[in-house]
Chain A
């Protein structure tokens, strides 16, 4: 039995390789053919806007803290109405490993991934994306979420008027 198995094991591979030779290769010829990417593929990052068209990012630094390779940096600033935003916001794509941890950390759904993976270039400095390059004109994968409608006291709406909130209790009133 041993011998028969050995002999079969020696000659079977030859048959397998011969058969494979006349099959169609599974290679996708990249620049001409493109791969069908999964819907939730992680590649180039974008900064989205909320449904009202304002920047979502509140420059909370959570994404840069979550980033394992420290490739996000920003400077926070505050507008007249108390709304925070990034004075500048920079992602160094030569370092980004496209892990998507920043998008998970983001409380405002501002930073999101796209399926655009064709980022290669000869000049590394061209891969350092500034805020203008990152900011897009749509809401990304969530069309309804607006951070300041859920939180951010008194910036977009007076206290207690957001959906799901109750107005603050009047401490000078004895009524329940």
Chain B
């Protein structure tokens, strides 16, 4: 009985830890992005609230909370209200299977640094992350606005064209690690990360992850310049904030996934594992920001072409080649 209570307390502790860290990171990622983007465009970015603008996330939250929570007339009210939640929650849910450190020994107990070590972690991630697009689509549909609807439709078709390659680019990883569990995948990269073993899969996965995060160059559902704000045109206040935070939580989560699948997770010399993990995630996020500063938005048909005509065949061939090589090596 007490054994179970301790396990439960441990899981709860880990949950709170992850929740806190991810939300904190998401809040400061917004600031970091605005600052880095500013510097890359020869501006300063936010620097008024607190020293170096470090209190900016707090100011943003206060602002968002005090804004009117507006629901357009003739909007589909219930869908409109829950859509932002779907985006944020699904992003958070993925983190349940991400291992962020090796198993710890606390008071003689084995504590794995992951909320649940599912033996089908990869499938869980693929399933939950495709749910995230429902937030975009339902939000766009329920707003009863043409721009939002267009954004939602774009989100959906974008999902269809990259999700396949996303899954297929993970197949070589699974073949090399011989397991669907994320912990095992990290363990398999003890000596050499999969990014070096299979750079093609890494490239395809990274591009798909960019599309998954709805960021430039694949931010078609938002596309400020064409669609006002895309699927979140009609949202205001904290509901818009949820979409926004969801995007950045997603960034952290996808950064962690790139780390887990290809960068060797917490493995690394000298530094403690947790620091290595954090460092790698932040590096991927910095890469996201750098890409956003440097690239234009793809056109709608260009994205489709890229997804169906390049990424999909590439990942299929890659699976065959990886299979052949693995077979050859025995």
Binding site for B on A (CB under 8 A): 10, 13-14, 16-18, 20-21, 23-27, 29
Contact = CB atoms under 8 A, between A and B. Distances in A.
B80 to A, nearest CB: 35
Q: Which 10 A-B pairs give the minimum distances between C-beta atoms? A: A13-B294, A17-B40, A17-B293, A17-B294, A21-B39, A14-B294, A25-B42, A26-B42, A21-B40, A27-B44
Nearest to A12: B294
B312 to A, nearest CB: 20
B43 interface: yes
Contacts of A29: 44
Nearest to A10: B295
Interface string B256-300: 000000000000000000000000000000000010011100000
Nearest to A14: B294
B32 interface: no
- Number of chain B interface residues as a range: 10 to 19
Nearest to A13: B294
A21 B294 contact: no
B291 to A, nearest CB: 8
Interface of B: 36, 38-44, 290, 293-295
B40 A20 contact: yes
B43 A25 contact: yes
Contacts of B40: 17-18, 20-21
A7 B39 CA distance: 25
Contact of B43 (A10, A16, A17, A27): A27
A42 B64 CA distance: 37
Contacts of B43: 25-27
Contact of A21 (B36, B44, B295): B36
Contacts of A26: 42-43
B294 A16 contact: yes
A17 B290 contact: yes
A45 to B, nearest CB: 31
A20 B41 contact: yes
B310 to A, nearest CB: 13
A125 B290 CA distance: 47
A140 to B, nearest CB: 37
Nearest to A24: B42
Contact of A20 (B39, B44, B295): B39
Contact of B42 (A13, A14, A20): A20
Given A13-B295, A14-B290, 13 more contacts: A16-B294, A17-B290, A17-B294, A18-B40, A18-B290, A20-B39, A20-B40, A20-B41, A20-B42, A24-B42, A25-B44, A26-B43, A27-B42
